[in-house]
Amino acid sequence: MIQIQNLHKWFGNTQVLNDINLEIFRQEVVVIIGASGSGKSTLLRCINFLERAEKGKIFIDGQYIEPAKSNLNLVRQEVGMVFQHFNLFPHKTVLENVIEGPTQVKKIPHDQPVIMGRELLAKVGLADKADVHPAMLSGGQKQRVAIARSLAMEPSIMLFDEPTSALDPELVGEVLIVMKELAQEGMTMVVVTHEMGFAKEAADRVIYLDQGRVVESGDPEQIFNEPEEDRTKSFLSKIL
Binding residues (CB under 6 A) for ligand ADP: these are 11, 16, 34, 36-42
- What does 34 bind: ligand ADP, Mg ion, none (CB cut-off 5 to 8 Å by kind)? ligand ADP
In angstroms, the CA 50 to CA 43 distance is 10
* Residue 5 β-bridge partners: 57
Q: How far is the CB of 165 from Mg ion (least distance, A)?
A: 9
Which is closer to Mg ion, CB of 83 or CB of 100? 83
Query: What is the nearest approach in angstroms of ligand ADP to the Cβ of residue 193?
Result: 11
Angle at 223 between CA 160 and CA 213, to 5 degrees: 65
Q: How many CB atoms lie within 10 A of CB 227?
A: 20
**Pick 41 or 188: Cβ nearer Mg ion:** 41
The residue among 116 and 176 lying less far from Mg ion, judged by its C-beta, is 176
Q: Which does 42 bind (CB under 5 to 8 A by kind): Mg ion, ligand ADP, none?
A: ligand ADP
* Alpha-carbon gap, residue 122 to 128, rounded angstroms: 8
77 binds, among Mg ion, ligand ADP, none (CB under 5 to 8 A by kind): none
Q: What are phi and psi of 132, to 5 degrees?
A: -95, 170
Check: CB of residue 198 under 8 Å from CB of residue 176.
yes
3-state secondary structure (DSSP) of residue 9: strand
Q: Which is nearer to Mg ion, 39 or 80 (CB)?
A: 39
11 binds, among ligand ADP, Mg ion, none (CB under 5 to 8 A by kind): ligand ADP
Pick between residue 45 and residue 205 the one whose CB is nearest to ligand ADP: 45
Beta bridge mates, 22: 4
Residue 41 found at the interface with Mg ion (CB under 5 A): yes
Identity (one letter) of the amino acid at 75? V
